[in-house]
Every structure is written in C-alpha cells, then in structure tokens.
Amino acid sequence: MRGGREVGSPILVTGAAGTVGYAVCELLIERGCKVRALVRKEDARSEKLAERGVEVVVGDLLDLHSMHRAIENCDRLYFGMTVSASYLEATINTAAVAKHHKVGAFVNISQMTVSQMGINATTDSPQQKMHWLAEQALNWSGLPVVHVRPTSFLDTFFLRLSAHSICEHGQIRLPFGDGKTSPIASEDVARVMATILESPARHIGKIYELTGSRSQDMNGVAEEFSRALGRPITYVNVPWEPWRKQLEASGMLDRHALSHLATMALLKQQNRYDRLTSDVEKITGTPPLSVHDFVLRHADMYTSEK
C-alpha cells in the first residue's frame, strides 16, 4: 500500500493528447504501469492509447468535476498543459483536487526560465510568469511535488517553425543572434517524466532542469543539421520584429502563444538559454539526443520530396 492505495493504482497523465503527454503514456505502458489519460476530446490519438490499455478520461483541466473523475484512485500524476492563458487556473484546480485525494506524487512540467525568475524578476511572457507562479502555489500547497524544467524544445523552433525554410532554402531562419542554446527533444523530456512517475519517492521535493547534449550558437546548430542531412544548412539571423509579424500572420499560434515564443526568441538573443545540465542522464541513465541525432530521426520532415 502507498498513500492508502494499492501499488497498482493508475498513474494520471494530463495533456495526454500532447506530444510529451502522449509519449509519457506510451512509455509507462511499456514499463507495465497502469495509466489513466486525461484528454479534451476523443480522437485518433486517444483511440490508440485505449488500444494499448490506457484508461482514457475525457475532461477539462478547468472543470472541477472532470478533475475529480480523473484523479480519483490515482496515486501519482503528471501535470502538463499546452501554452494557454488558462494555465495558472488549470494548475491550481488540479492541485486542489489532487490534495483532496491525497496523491502521492505530483510531477509538474515547468520551464527552465523559471530558474532565472523571482519576486522581483520576470519576463515579458505571460506564460513564463504563470509557470513561476504555479511553482510557488504548488510549493505552498504541501503536495509532494517534483518540478521538471525543460529548456526550449527542438520540436518547436527547429522542427515546427523551421522545417519549411530548411526544406526549401537550406536555411534556419530564426532571430536568435549570437546567443547559445541547448534545445531538448520532447522524447527526452518524456523519458524523464516516465522514469520519475514509475518510482517517484526519491524525487519528491526536487527540481530538475533539462537541456540537450550541448550548448552552442546557431552556426553550431546549423553544422549539426548539415552533417545529419548531408547537405549545407546555414543559419540566417533574421530581424526579430519581421519574424514575429510573419509568425503572427501565419495563424499557427494564438496571441498568448505568440507572445510566449516571441519572448523566448528575445531571451535567446540575450544568451539566457546558454544552459547545460546532466539531469536527463542522471535520471534516466541515457544522455539526451544531440541536434544531429534529432535531425536524423526526423529527416523526412526536412526533405522537400515528402
């Protein structure tokens, strides 16, 4: 027994339709854990999870009754939510219900920028400020919390936002200036989360900061792309404001998410993402993917003949 529940009680994964949440579900199932996945709606991804033995619950992080259904009888949970103006409310709602049900571990995905913030220091990203506030509230709650703070994701800036320019022009067009960065693959973040959730006791109360395998400037990143793809890929340091306007015009992001990514780009210019830790390997026993290996895994996304 642990926390009044059987050891085999399910692990709740919120945001299970997202990239990290979905991967966490798959990894936990592979490790023989019982998993309950919270999703906003049923779709092809939730169907695949159900086929693999995941208990799928449809609900909303902002809805009190949904969270009671999701958390009841769960001893551990992973809290993750997409970039959203409702993030802080969702965190507090989930935490309140988790405390009511006496969960044994609350594993929270945060952001590494939080480590550079405080009561007198914030950023222009409302999302980053909410992550800092959420960590404060979770600490005040008395819940058995683990904070995991990844740096920026390879999947975001270097895949979703750069695949087209790499395919068509052989260029990574981003406004990062000369700043160094150590982006991490979402699959490495998921490995860390699954490892902690599988056996959380020794991690309770700790903060982990996750980076990729190397901190380097964008010319170094471009060299890794070139080696992986077998053709020249160069970095073009585009002006920030035209880049932001182009991203806004694309319709890919709502205003809140746009503000968040635009702020991250400015912080990269200021070298605020020149960070390197060994926490991924320390927790999982395996180092994080390099940019080169990440590009190899997604090579088809960088090829115009798709």
Least confident of 174-183, 185-194, 297-306: 297-306
Residue 140 and residue 17 share a domain: yes
79 and 132 part of one domain? yes
- With respect to residue 5, please indicate whether it lies within any of the assigned structural domains: no
Q: Is residue 283 part of a domain?
A: no
Q: Would you state the pLDDT for residue 174?
A: 98
If one compares 2 and 116, the residue with the highest pLDDT of the two is 116
Are 50 and 161 members of one domain? Answer: no
Query: Into how many domains does the chain fold?
Result: 2
**pLDDT mean across residues, the chain:** 95
- Lowest-confidence pick of 3-7, 70-74, 124-128, 235-239: 3-7
Q: pTM for this one?
A: 0.95
Residues 42 and 119 in one domain: yes
Note whether 221 and 298 are same-domain residues.
Answer: yes
- Residue 119 in any domain: the answer is yes
Across the range 7-13, mean pLDDT stands at 87
Residues 227, 231, 237, CA angle at the centre, nearest 5°? 85
Do both 105 and 30 map to the same domain?
yes
The whole-angstrom separation of Cα 69 and Cα 57 is 8
Same structural domain, 55 and 173: no
**What range does the domain containing 267 cover?**
154-181+213-274+289-302
State residue 306's pLDDT score.
46
Task: Tell me if 233 sits within 8 A of 170, measured CB to CB.
Answer: yes
Segment 217-252, tens digit of pLDDT: 999 999 999 999 999 999 999 999 999 999 999 999
State the Cα–Cα distance between residues 258 and 255, nearest whole angstrom. Answer: 5
Q: Is residue 1 over pLDDT 50?
A: no
User: What digits encode the pLDDT tens for the residues 198-215?
Assistant: 999 999 999 999 999 999
* 125: pLDDT strictly greater than 60: yes
